[in-house]
Amino acid sequence: MPKHLISRLMGKFAAARAGWFTQAFIRWFIRQYKIDMSEAIEESPQAYKTFNDFFTRRLKPELRPLKADDNELAHPVDGSVSQLGEIKDGRIFQAKGHDYSLQELLGGSEEDAKPFMNGDFATIYLAPKDYHRIHMPCDGVLKKMIYVPGDLYSVNPLTAANVPNLFARNERVVAIFDTEVGPMSMVLVGATIVASIGTVWSGTVTPPTGGRIQSWSYPASGPAAIHLKKGEEMGHFKLGSTVVLTFAKDAIEFDDDLEPRSTTRMGEVMAKIKAETKESDD
């Protein structure tokens, strides 16, 4: 399949004001994926002039309260856990029989990967029915953003179990932050039909796409520094995909109830900040 072509064509349709056709497609999508529109600020499908408007719909704030306290990290998205655990010898577990390179995931730089060696990761899959805005699990200051070109394979659980190196193979946007728990990366992974990946500080990152890795660095302080609070929006998918988070060694401890296939809800507790991390930060 010409995955890039199909995805970009879908992107053009998703951004178009196609009148009755857009409305019919939105209604079909709601029925097909059993989407609860009562959660949306705009409950009526007619409120959305494009499919992108509908897909990135905002939810009623009271339905996703920030439950994580000062010593906890919040889930960044609605979705389900694909995998989580320790980054072992620079490798991240994908599925039985498959792992991939941390360094490759982050764009190939040894310097960018080093702070996360032997740390922890969480991979969260966003299904079509899910809310597709991405939020901060903790307070952070943006250090670097990297665009990595790649394939556009599907990232559903079946594909993750069968396609080697999937998340380090697909097109992606990497955001690296300095946070209260140390360095943290959030990797927004593209997929088949994913029409766009964007961030709040730069707008749409892709498309357009390119054939080479691109990176942008940001100041740690001053008026140009980008500070984001826990629970604040950091990006979005237009047609959904996967977020991979990485943390430094001994920085966090995932919630005891969190395991593969666990449902996640933005704002709920994802992990505890280890006491020594909090003390060193203080």
Active-site annotation holder among 112, 120, 132, 135: 135
Residue 149 lies in a domain: yes
CA pair distance 204, 237, nearest whole angstrom: 10
Residue 200 lies in a domain: yes
| Catalytic status, residue 132 | no
Residue 52 lies in a domain: no
The predicted structure's pLDDT at residue 193: 59
Active-site annotation holder among 7, 75, 78, 130: 78
Q: Model confidence at 194, in pLDDT bands (50, 70, 90)?
A: low
Q: Percent of the chain scored above 90 by pLDDT? A: 68
- Rounded mean pLDDT of 150-156? 78
- Does 280 score more than 60 pLDDT? no
The top-scoring range by mean pLDDT among 79-88, 196-205, 233-242 is 79-88
Question: What is the DSSP pairing of strand 72-74 with strand 269-273?
Answer: antiparallel
Task: Say how many Å lie between the first and final Cα of the chain, rounded.
Answer: 52
Residue 172 lies in a domain: yes
The tally of domains found in the chain comes to 1
* pLDDT tens by residue, 41-84: 999 999 999 888 998 899 999 999 999 999 999 999 999 999 99
Q: What is the domain extent for residue 202?
A: 63-273
Q: How many CB atoms lie within 10 A of CB 1?
A: 9
| Catalytic status, residue 109 | no
CA pair distance 223, 277, nearest whole angstrom: 28
Residue 26 lies in a domain: no
Residue 210 lies in a domain: yes
The mean of the pLDDT values for the chain is 89
Residue 6 lies in a domain: no
CA pair distance 229, 61, nearest whole angstrom: 16
| Catalytic status, residue 78 | yes
- Rounded mean pLDDT of 143-167? 86
Q: Tell me 151's DSSP state.
A: B
203: which strand partners? 199
- Does 257 score more than 60 pLDDT? yes
Q: Tell me 58's DSSP state.
A: P
Active-site annotation holder among 7, 82, 196, 241: 241
- Does 3 score more than 90 pLDDT? no
Torsion of CA 151, 105, 128, 65, to 10 degrees: -160
In degrees and rounded to multiples of 5, residue 45 shows phi and psi of -60, -30
Residue 190 lies in a domain: yes
The pTM is what?
A: 0.90
CA pair distance 92, 90, nearest whole angstrom: 7
Q: Model confidence at 96, in pLDDT bands (50, 70, 90)?
A: confident
140: which strand partners? 179, 228
Look at 111 and 2; give whichever has higher pLDDT: 111
